Amino acid sequence: MKNRTLCFLYAQLALAAFSYSGATQAQSAHLEGTTLVLPVVTAADKTFRLEFSLDTNTSPLQISLISAVELSNPDSIDTNNANSFIGTTLSIPDISVDGASFRADFTLLSENPIIFLLADAAENGIQAPENTPNACSRPAPDLSHGPNNAAVVSGFSVDPSKIQDGGPAPDGIPPLTNPQFTQNLELTGIFPDSLVVGVKVGDDIRAYPHQILDWHEVVNDTFTVDGQQQQMTLSYCPLTGSAMMWKGFAQSANKTFGTSGLLLNSNLVMYDRETNSLWSQMLEQSIRGSAVLDIPDKVQVVETTWETWQAMYPETILMTEDTGFSRPYGTYPYGSFRTDQSLIFNVDNMNDLRLHRKARVLGINVGDSSKVYPVADFGDSISLIHDQVGGMDVVAAGSATQNFAVLFNRQLEDCTTLDFTPVQDQLPVVMTDNEGTQWDVFGNGISGPRAGTKLEKTNSYIAYWFAWTAFFPGTEIN
Amino acid sequence: MTIRLLAFSLLLLASLLLTQAEAATCSCAGAPLLSSIDSSSTEPGDFFFNYTTEFHEMSDLVEGTKDIRDESRRERSSTSQVVSGTYGLADRWSVSGLLSYIEHSRSVGTSFLGEQNTSGLGDAVVLLRYTPSYITPFSRHEVSLGIGVRLPVGKDDAGGLIVQSEDMQPSVGSQGEILWSSYSYAFNQASTLQLNLSANYTFNNEENDRNYSFSDEFNFAVGISQSIGTRFGYSAGLRYRTTDADERNGFEIPNSGGEWLDFVPAIQYGISDDLTLSLSGRVPVARDLEGALQFTTSYSYAFSMTYAL
């Protein structure tokens, strides 16, 4: 195989448009977008410049040869620690990724076309050389809002005296499993200004109306991801106005959740049906049981009105009221609770009235820093807020009239910090950056230089003010 | 003695119509407190002892006045053991005292988690009663007035590290004050057939340790009772109950409060001159509940034994 591959490379050389000569070339392997450039590769007694296309849809990673040029005057090239092709292995001793140095070994997968498969990779522990252009410090988003290194006492990671029995008993507020969806709106009781939780998983776009979630709070649903069925759980707590979606745990036989009937700071406490562990929705962490302190893997959701969601994604499907339960979905179950200053359960910090208790705020925690952006302050048209929270450069995009707000990390993995301007009337596109890329409400690059990439989502969500300040006292208000 | 027993029996039956001061919350879960207190007239020095056990099923799901099918198969019930004594203090004056033991149970058939239970000592009631007018062969009217207090001597923090909700607690957890009245009219001189009316009002102004206060409660009952022979008797009547919403920290709790109308039948058998047994029930006739949805009484039944010392 070795000799035939070399012969193929020689054949490629016949097609080479040019060859290098003379001065020593930079040897460092590096990425140029989705192209892996190996300026110097030794193969037997020859040296080449190779370029590969990365197939980011494969796992493990596959790379396809797109250019091979034999370097002339190899004696002038420093081949120490150069990349090498020996046998069926392409070895890259040093490639810089996001400021860190890695080595990688690829195995030849195909000779025609030439495709390699990532076989092994490890961080070198070597500081990136000073001339590496992409070294920077980016605070990582908090994976959960639970306390770091929380002590577990009597099996609880929170004070159990703060957990209250809501009254309905476990699953007394019945969760839904694999609900029905439709595009036929006559089957639904939806209005244009009805709030929905919007989810986009690949091309699967779904909306879950608040008027149904108010009565069930937990929806165990199934999506198809890369041809595989993926169980996900959407939760919405009507008492704290908070919605989020968690992926089912890969190692669990039963990946679904139920309602425990318990509340922490008036917020939904779920239980997983695999271990019966309790999970605080707003802390995004297990608070009791064998899974205590575990953190779920989250999927971004967008809360907005049905009218706005339809404008964003006309092809969306909508969850129907055909749930198998007899509930008055047109009636809000808690009277005037969502608009008045009342509280049904004891909460911490209940007298922090810097905002109306039921003001909807988009909140984020980064390390010890906590900040909220009231949805109502975003104005009628789409507006942006460039900010820094806990050292993280963020951009918040939202509209009070269209009733949505989302928050992203505006510093990219290549350490570029983007500046944005809002885009009107092109939903789901909400903003464009200083490089010319347009970004949608989920942080996807839709057009422009960075099309196909995605802004790093922050661990943020919308909730009522009283709930946010109960969990995170001292929160800063924008 | 026979007349005394007759009078005692009829009024005992009448007392089964007496409104039940519910021991806990929102439309459901209650201990039959007041109804366990013998309302029969007592002579100075008389003492009556009563034991009542009641089973109360609260699994009906109601939206306003409409019954809703509950696909979650929720089961909620309470069992109460109540002992009470009534003592004739003086002419026309008597005092009654009551202690209770309550067990609550709830489960959801579609849940992966099992049944939850609590139990413990419930509330106590002390009632001072004045009867200015008795039914006698010469008088067909009886009027009785009472004032009392509900004492939260029992358990209101059942559930372990996570205290269960107020409706699952044996005790209300706060003091209440009771005003009570009754009127009976005998249709015949032998007073074997009577019309009975009663009303009471419970003031619940205090919060428990979790800042929860139950609503005030008003009860009114009307019915008839009849003795058949010297041993048997029956009663039947309607009981109306109304409460406002419960509160926490002064804020109303949604889906609490409403109006209920129940049918309350009972039968009684006098084993001896001093011992009677009775069996009673409570069946909803109509209700109009506040809020979007509430679980409420499906039915209840009670067995009672009264002994005159």
How many angstroms away from the CA of A216 is the closest CA of chain B?
11
Exposure pattern of B165-198 as b/e (b: 16+ CB <10 Å)? Answer: bbbbbbbbbbebebebbbbbebeeeebbebbbbb
Q: How confident is the model at residue A108 (pLDDT cuts 50, 70, 90)?
A: confident
User: Which chain B residues touch A161 with a CB distance below 8 Å?
Assistant: 161, 163
- B residues 225-284 lying closer than 8 A (beta carbon) to A: 248-249, 251-255
Q: How confident is the model at residue B31 (pLDDT cuts 50, 70, 90)?
A: very low
Output the CATH code of domain B2-308.
Answer: 2.40.128.130
C-beta atoms of B113 and A271 within 8 A:
yes
Domain segments of chain B: what residues?
2-308
Dist CA B15 CA B7 (whole Å): 12
Dist CA A172 CA A156 (whole Å): 23
- Is B1's Cβ below 8 Å from some Cβ in A? no
How many angstroms away from the CA of B79 is the closest CA of chain A?
18
Domains with residue ranges and CATH for chain A: 2-127 (no CATH), 160-319 (no CATH), 360-477 (2.102.10)
C-beta atoms of A258 and B107 within 8 A:
no
Task: Tell me: cis bond preceding A428? Omega within 30 of 0 counts.
Answer: yes
User: Which chain B residues touch A289 with a CB distance below 8 Å?
Assistant: none
C-beta atoms of B71 and A324 within 8 A:
yes
Task: Give the pLDDT of residue B37.
Answer: 55
Is residue B72's pLDDT more than 60? yes
Q: What is the mean pLDDT of residues A28-35?
A: 88
Tell how many helices (H) and how many strands (E) occur in chain B.
Answer: 1, 19
**How large is the ipTM?**
0.87
C-beta atoms of A165 and B63 within 8 A:
no
3-state secondary structure at position A135: coil
**Which residue of chain A is at minimal alpha-carbon distance from B290?**
A335
Please name the amino acid found at residue A188: T
What's the alpha-carbon Rg for chain A, to the nearest Å? 26
Write the pLDDT tens digit of every residue in B194-238: 999 999 999 998 999 999 999 999 999 999 999 998 899 999 999
How many angstroms away from the CA of B71 is the closest CA of chain A?
6
Tell how many helices (H) and how many strands (E) occur in chain A.
Answer: 4, 35
> Nearest Cβ partner of B112 from A165, A166, A273?
A273
Closest CA to B255 of B152, B167, B155, B156: B167
Is residue A13's pLDDT more than 50? no
Q: How confident is the model at residue A322 (pLDDT cuts 50, 70, 90)?
A: very high
Alpha-carbon distance values, B182 to B40, B198, B223, B227 (Å): 11, 4, 12, 19
How many angstroms away from the CA of A157 is the closest CA of chain B?
13
Q: How confident is the model at residue A74 (pLDDT cuts 50, 70, 90)?
A: low
Is residue A215's pLDDT more than 80? yes
Q: What is the mean pLDDT of residues A434-462?
A: 94
Q: What is the mean pLDDT of residues B56-81?
A: 94
C-beta atoms of A258 and B112 within 8 A:
yes
> Nearest Cβ partner of B251 from A168, A276, A343?
A343
Is residue B23's pLDDT more than 50? no
The answer to whether B150 touches B125, Cβ cutoff 8 Å, is yes
Dist CA A7 CA A4 (whole Å): 5
How many angstroms away from the CA of A253 is the closest CA of chain B?
14
Fill in the DSSP letter of residue A142.
P
Is residue A38's pLDDT more than 60? yes
C-beta atoms of A331 and B253 within 8 A:
no
> Nearest Cβ partner of B113 from A160, A171, A325?
A171
Q: How confident is the model at residue A4 (pLDDT cuts 50, 70, 90)?
A: very low
